[in-house]
Amino acid sequence: MNNTTVNESCLLPGADQPTGLTAPMRYFLAATLLLASLVGVVGNIMVIAANAFEKKIRSSTNLFLANMATADLMTSLICDSCLSFAWFFPAFKPSCLFRDVMGFVYFFSVDLSVVNSSLVAWNRYVLITKPLQTYNMLFTPTKIAMYCITSWISTFLLILLVFAYFRRLFRPPYILISVPAADMSDMVFFVVNIIEIIILVVAPILLTLFFYIAIFLKIRKVKERVKVHAAPNPNAKKLYRPSRKVVREITSYLFVLFLVLLVCSFPISITQYVHVLVTPVHPDVQNLTLVLAMINSSINPIIHTIKSQDYRNFFK
């Protein structure tokens, strides 16, 4: 790939069709994003407020969820609302700065959510499979704050390195965000891009899957031991032993959050890399996957309301 392809024009073709979409599709996507923005802003603020004002909710796991809600709030407040505006007004021609800011906020928010999902899974893994003493040692309020701050700083610096320092971005002509270019002609940028993906996406996802598999195996083992009336674990007093129903409900609730994040975020990543490396992707597909990725920040508060009794009571 040459530099001309990577550094495309920042202005979209055609004042009457700035996204390459038909007017009905453009307005449908704009209305969807506007609704997602409203739901996401209100919902994520309520999740943050629940952790700030309700002591019953302020567990270590929910503090990580509040950290994730803060990242989602950025997407709902900035990306969803701005992209909705751009689609509602066809004459708007986004500049390089606009598209770069949208791309930076989107990738920062999504990658931060992935990292926080792995922190949530790690928290549940230690809580369910390790002695309570270990859990209390690893998840003190000070250490939880340190984990959250570290996730923000590390994610911000890696995304900033790709977006600001190297300035090797791909601006697809039919969507309104910049994405890191898979430019194999620049080996330094390509390596940095791959490292960023491994650290912020691949590794956290694999760790999250490992933690949840270990949790489900642990729950299954305990369930089987109860069925055959096995002798209790001699270390039972040292382990966290909530009811199996509570463990299953909370773990499945958090696993649903993780799955929704994957379902919403993967399609746009796949389409963009296919578009850059293989063959052009139809603009309708690009924009639909973009909207799907953006609305993930609005779905999470809904999942909290449906799956968590504590959040549901606070929201009421």
pTM: 0.79
Mean pLDDT computed over every residue of the chain: 78
pLDDT at 16 over 50: no
Rounded to an integer, the average pLDDT of 280-306 is 81
pLDDT of residue 6: 41
- The predicted-structure confidence for 206-254, as pLDDT tens digits, reads as follows 888 898 888 888 777 766 555 544 444 444 444 444 555 655 666 677 7
- The predicted-structure confidence for 26-74, as pLDDT tens digits, reads as follows 888 889 889 999 999 999 999 999 988 888 888 888 888 899 899 899 9
Is 11 within a domain? no
Rounded to an integer, the average pLDDT of 151-177 is 81
Is 2 within a domain? no
- The predicted-structure confidence for 185-218, as pLDDT tens digits, reads as follows 677 777 777 788 888 888 888 888 898 888 888 7
Is 263 within a domain? yes
pLDDT at 269 over 90: no
Is 13 within a domain? no
pLDDT of residue 2: 40
Using an 8 Å Cβ cutoff, are 194 and 206 in contact?
A: no
Is 301 within a domain? yes
Is 6 within a domain? no
Q: Place 312 in a pLDDT band, splitting at 50, 70 and 90.
A: confident
Is 125 within a domain? yes
* CATH number, position 257: 1.20.1070.10
Domain that holds residue 216: 18-315
Domain count along the chain: 1
Q: Place 156 in a pLDDT band, splitting at 50, 70 and 90.
A: very high
pLDDT of residue 38: 93
